[in-house]
């Protein structure tokens, strides 16, 4: 009886080892990073990593499918990596991303007769949020300033307001002069209270709205100031104590926040020493027929043994 069950267990172990596809590493693989989305950028690189466990030369091609494209279109030259692959990039420019909408990027790796692919997508927009309204500045005490405003009713495009401050009437609205960021949506009252470095000076302010893609609105601020962005300097007739300054339609990088996200990483690529893992659910799903057959085999062997024992008695 012990020999019988030992034989059955051996058969099960050998069958699983031979026929289990979940634990078999793929010879060729490629992974494409996920860029920031939505975005207002037209010039950026998307990194990919390709690996062939047999050490073959790997050829990679970049493709895109944007608004109006019926299928994927290759862009850039094919890239060949010797000795089992490497890291490469697909370079995006305005010839590839030039219309508002969704874009899917694909990389296809080929080594010998094997081929693998991976995709990533972005949403491109350069509309920008509406200009904040209701701007006011109040010096609430000797040092502190309170800025009040109302975000535009722009159907959810506004996600935050940035506040800039300077002791000069002419200054640049950038990371150096930014003193506060208020995260709020469209059509909402907001305020910012800040304390300047010196209580003996007068300070001047401007605010600007941003959307999730990094597009900025016009600058709104004190009527006596001239505020510039990284691209444009203009003046306008003051309206209700504020001055609106036109900015580039391409938006600004001021709206981008540093986050601890996994953006820009290439994930999931296996190395020759990495053993793929599988959950019990995946195991049962991929081996249901095999397990069912083994159970029938075991039941048959046990039935045969019981039958023989009865005859011998």
Same domain, yes or no: 31 and 102: yes
In a domain, 20, yes or no: no
Same domain, yes or no: 78 and 120: yes
Same domain, yes or no: 143 and 68: no
In a domain, 238, yes or no: yes
In a domain, 175, yes or no: yes
Q: Summarize pLDDT for 37-46 with one digit per residue, the tens.
A: 999 999 999 9
In a domain, 257, yes or no: no
In a domain, 272, yes or no: no
Give the range of the structural domain holding residue 302, as residue numbers without chain letter.
2-9+278-312
Which range has the top average pLDDT, 2-11, 84-93, 288-297? 84-93
Same domain, yes or no: 102 and 156: no
User: Please, what is the average pLDDT of the chain?
Assistant: 80
Q: pLDDT at residue 281 above 80?
A: no
Same domain, yes or no: 153 and 216: yes
In a domain, 183, yes or no: yes
Q: Summarize pLDDT for 135-173 with one digit per residue, the tens.
A: 999 999 999 999 999 999 999 999 999 999 999 999 999
Q: Which of 118-127, 258-267, 281-290 has the lowest mean pLDDT?
A: 258-267
Same domain, yes or no: 141 and 238: yes
Q: What is the CATH number of the domain that holds 215?
A: 2.60.40.10
Same domain, yes or no: 49 and 154: no
Instruction: Assign 3-class secondary structure to the chain.
Output: CHHHHHHHHHHHHHHHHHHCCCCCCCCEEEEECCCCCCECCCCEEEEEEEEECCCCCEEEEEEEECCCCCCCEEEEEEEEECCCCCEEEEEECCCCCCCCEEEEEEEEEEECCEEEEEEEEEEECCCCCCCCEEEEEEECCCCCEEEEEECCCCCCCCCEEEEEEECCCEEECCCCCEEEEEECCCCCEEEEEECCCCCCCCCEEEEEEECCCCCECCEEEECCCEEECCCCECCCCCECCEEEECCCCCCCHHHCCCCCCCCCCCCCCCCCCCCCCCCHHHHHHHCHHHHHHHHHHHHHHHHHHHHHHHHHC
Same domain, yes or no: 157 and 220: yes
Same domain, yes or no: 120 and 36: yes
In a domain, 213, yes or no: yes
* pTM score, whole prediction: 0.59
In a domain, 229, yes or no: yes
Last residue of a domain, one of 85, 104, 124: 124
Last residue of a domain, one of 124, 142, 171: 124
- Count of the separate structural domains present in the chain: 3
């Amino acid at each position: 009886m012990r020999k019988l069950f030992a034989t059955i267990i051996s058969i099960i172990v050998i069958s699983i080892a031979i026929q289990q596809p979940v634990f078999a590493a793929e010879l060729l693989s490629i992974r494409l990073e996920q860029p920031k989305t939505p975005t207002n950028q037209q010039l950026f690189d998307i990194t990919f990593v390709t690996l062939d466990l047999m050490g073959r030369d790997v050829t990679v091609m970049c493709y895109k499918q944007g608004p109006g494209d019926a299928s994927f279109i290759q862009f850039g030259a094919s890239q060949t990596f010797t000795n089992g692959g490497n890291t490469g990039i697909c370079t995006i420019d305005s010839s590839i991303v030039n219309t508002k909408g969704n874009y899917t990027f694909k990389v296809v790796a080929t080594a010998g007769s094997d081929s693998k692919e991976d995709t990533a997508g972005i949403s491109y927009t350069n509309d920008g949020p509406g200009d904040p309204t209701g701007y006011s500045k109040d010096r609430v005490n000797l040092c502190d300033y309170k800025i009040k405003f109302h975000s535009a009713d722009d159907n959810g495009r506004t996600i935050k307001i940035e506040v800039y401050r300077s002791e000069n009437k002419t200054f640049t609205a950038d990371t150096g002069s930014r003193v506060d960021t208020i995260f709020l949506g469209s059509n909402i009252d907001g305020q910012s209270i800040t304390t300047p470095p010196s209580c003996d000076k007068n300070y001047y302010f401007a605010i600007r709205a941003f959307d999730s893609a990094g597009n900025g609105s016009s600058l709104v601020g004190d009527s006596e100031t001239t505020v510039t962005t990284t691209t444009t300097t203009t003046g306008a007739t003051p309206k209700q104590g504020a001055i609106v300054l036109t900015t580039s339609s391409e938006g600004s990088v001021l709206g981008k926040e540093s986050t601890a996200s996994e953006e820009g990483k290439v994930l999931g690529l296996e190395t020759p020493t990495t053993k793929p893992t599988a959950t019990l659910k995946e195991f049962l799903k991929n081996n249901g027929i095999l397990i069912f057959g083994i159970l029938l085999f075991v039941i048959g062997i046990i039935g045969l043994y019981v039958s023989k024992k009865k005859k011998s008695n």
